[in-house]
Amino acid sequence: MAQPSSNGRSQPTSAFLTIDGVTKRFGEVVAVDTIELDIAQGEIFALLGSSGCGKSTLLRMLAGFEPPSSGRVLLAGEDITDLPPYERPINMMFQSYALFPHLTVYDNIAFGLRRDGMDKTAIAQRVTEMLALVQLTPYAKRKPHQLSGGQQQRVALARSLAKRPKLLLLDEPLAALDKKLRERTQLELVSILRQVGVTCVMVTHDQEEAMTMADRIAVMRDGRFLQLGTPGEIYEHPQTRFVADFIGNVNLFDGHLVVDEADHCEIRCDEGLFHIGHGISGTLGAEFSVALRPEKIGIELGRREPAANLIAGTVAGRSYMGSYTAYEVELASRRRVRVTVSNADRHADPFANGAEVMLNWADTAPVVIAD
Ligand SMILES: Nc1ncnc2c1ncn2[C@@H]1O[C@H](COP(=O)(O)OP(=O)(O)OP(=O)(O)O)[C@@H](O)[C@H]1O
Ligand SMILES: [Mg+2]
């Protein structure tokens, strides 16, 4: 159910965390610029963007380490903008999740609970529960240096969850892990967060990590949200060139609108004619870009007369990636197009360097981008 708020935004009544026009200035620099966001209880939300776009600053304001220059933060209906960090029911796991090296796993997890004066039996119970949650029960007596990177990461998570925060903030939680371990830990982490049901805002500059872990993603640039949506929405319907390019691989073509009907439109680019299966209500002649993902392009050997959604090229390079092969196909204009082909058949590899090919795609494959 939605109701209009005072500023005209439609917001879910179930909003658990509300970021209301939050801005942070450091002198001349606007690190975070008028962010509006509602997050539901139990949601895993990712802030995704390149270095310096304001991700950590926004997270630090949620934690209370940095006061906003303007705007408000509400948690479970309560305005917490002016609460100091230790009075917020929030825990933040930092970019480098330093554990106390001289303390055992058990004592690392118990640390915050002892500081809060929780009684010994209750602490033992909570730590035991947390150890089981992150599957480290046999490791309770070890010191951090006696654990693998992934295990240390889980201790840090257990420590962050021990006080049962209402909101968990994760700043690049897996940055210290190598690729393979990071991928496995992403899934473990999501499963733990879901079990606990904690609401989570995480920061990452790794788009695959955001897509694997988050219910929704905000792509940030220069302190603002460029686009906000589920991983599928952001990948399949990027609204800007930046988002299209930032999330996964994409081929971008520039052209102008030549046909615009209710059920289709056509965009003429130097490389060919794009026939697209929906109208866009644009001005004829206006400039648009078309984004086409490499996996949505079909490739076949031979030469035919080019047509709408059909262009000719020559294989100029290929990378065998195991599960798929990526081809660089050069067009007459010398422009290169990336095409990926799934290696479903172990021995199929008909597109040698220099082969003449035709590229084609469905009229649902391209995305029209106005900016
Ligand atoms: N304490 C500060 N004083 C002045 N400028 C700051 C301060 N903290 C951050 N900034 C600036 O604010 C901007 C956003 O920084 P922030 O740390 O939020 O980026 P980020 O998105 O987390 O980047 P990264 O991916 O590199 O961690 C940067 O331009 C940064 O230089
Ligand atoms: Mg950061």
Q: What are the structural domain ranges in the chain? A: 41-68+85-242, 251-369
Find out whether the beta carbon of 6 lies less than 6 Å from any atom of ligand 1: no
* Phi and psi angles of residue 80, each rounded to the nearest 5 degrees, phi first: -110, 10
Q: Is the CB of 54 under 6 A from ligand 1?
A: yes
User: What's the rounded mean pLDDT across residues 226-237?
Assistant: 95
Residue 286 CA, ligand 2 centroid: distance in Å: 39
pLDDT bin (cut points 50, 70, 90) of residue 7 is very low
Q: Which atom of ligand 1 is nearest to the CA of 58?
A: 18
Rounded mean pLDDT of 224-249?
93
Q: Whose CA is nearest to atom 12 of ligand 1?
A: 31
336 pocket-lining for ligand 1 (C-beta < 6 Å): no
Q: Is the pLDDT of residue 153 over 70?
A: yes
How many angstroms does the Cα of residue 171 sit away from the middle of ligand 1? 13
Query: Ligand nearest 219 Cα, by number?
Result: 1
Q: Give the closest residue (by CA) to ligand 1 atom 4.
A: 26
Atom of ligand 1 nearest to the CA of 220: 21
Residue 153 and residue 168: Cα distance in Å, rounded? 15
- Residue 69 CA to ligand 1 center (angstroms) comes to 15
**Rounded-to-integer distance, Cα 120 and Cα 230, Å:** 43
pLDDT per residue as tens digits for the range 88-102: 999 988 755 679 999
Q: Is 223 in the pocket of ligand 1 (CB under 6 A)?
A: no
CA of 249 to the centre of ligand 2 (A): 24
Ligand nearest to the CA of 27: 1
Distance 68 CA to ligand 1 centre (A): 14
List CB contacts of 70: < 8 A, sequence separation 6 or more. Answer: 21, 22, 23
Length of the chain: 371
Q: How far is the CA of 199 from the centre of ligand 2 (A)?
A: 20
Give residue 307's pLDDT. Answer: 94
Q: What is the pLDDT of residues 25-49, one digit of tens each?
A: 999 999 999 999 999 999 999 999 9
Rounded CA separation 240/249 (Å):
14
Task: Please give the backbone phi and psi of residue 98, each rounded to the nearest 5 degrees, phi first.
Answer: -45, 120
Which phi and psi (to 5°) does residue 164 adopt? 50, 60
Is the C-alpha dihedral spanning 109, 112, 114, 118 positive or negative? Answer: negative
Pick from 35, 48, 55, 60 the residue to mutate for probing ligand 1's pocket: most ligand atoms within 8 Å of its CB: 55
Strand 287-292 versus strand 367-369 pairing type: antiparallel
Whole-structure pTM over 0.85, yes or no?
yes
- Residues forming beta bridges with residue 298, ordered by sequence position: 360
Q: Which fold has domain 41-68+85-242?
A: Rossmann fold (3.40.50)
pLDDT tens for each residue of 239-260: 999 999 898 899 999 999 999 9
- Segment 152-160 shows an average pLDDT of 90
- With a 6 A CB cut-off, is 65 part of the ligand 1 pocket? no
Whether 13 has a pLDDT exceeding 90, the answer reads no
Give the helix/strand (H/E) hosting 160. helix 149-161
* 53 CB near ligand 1 (under 6 Å): yes
Neighbours of 224 (CB within 10 A): 16
Check residue 307 and report its DSSP letter: B
Q: Over 70: is that where the pLDDT of 3 sits?
A: no
> Distance between CA atoms of 309 and 241, rounded to whole angstroms?
20
Kindly report the average pLDDT of the chain as a whole number: 91
| DSSP symbols for 23-40 | EEEETTEEEEEEEEEEEE
Instruction: Summarize pLDDT for 335-362 with one digit per residue, the tens.
Output: 999 999 998 887 667 799 999 999 999 9
First-to-last C-alpha distance (Å) of the chain? 32
Which residue type is seen at 141? K
Residue 198 amino acid letter? V
Ligand 1 binding pocket includes 205 (Cβ within 6 Å): yes
Q: How far is the CA of 29 from the centre of ligand 1 (A)?
A: 9
List, as one string, the DSSP characters of 69-95. Answer: SEEEEEETTEE-TT--GGGSSEEEE-S
| pLDDT per residue as tens digits for the range 282-324 | 899 999 999 999 999 999 999 999 999 999 999 999 998 888 9
Digit-coded pLDDT (tens) for 265-280 = 999 999 999 999 999 9
pLDDT for the residue 10: 41
Separate counts of helices (H) and strands (E) for the chain: 8, 22
Task: Please tell me the distance from the alpha carbon of residue 66 to that of residue 84, in angstroms, as a whole number.
Answer: 10
| Residue tagged 């480098």 (tokens) | 96
pLDDT at 95: 57
Contact (Cβ atoms closer than 8 angstroms) between residue 32 and residue 54 = yes
Cβ density class 231-242: b for 16+ within 10 Å, e for less = beebbeebbbbb
Strands 167-171 and 199-204: parallel
Q: Look up residue 246 and give its two tokens.
A: 């930032």
* Beta pairing partners, 115: none
Q: What are phi and psi of 61, to 5 degrees?
A: -70, -35
Task: Please give all residues whose CB falls under 5 A of ion ligand 2, grouped by chain where several chains appear.
Answer: 56
Residue nearest to atom 14 of ligand 1 (CA): 54
Class of domain 251-369: mainly beta
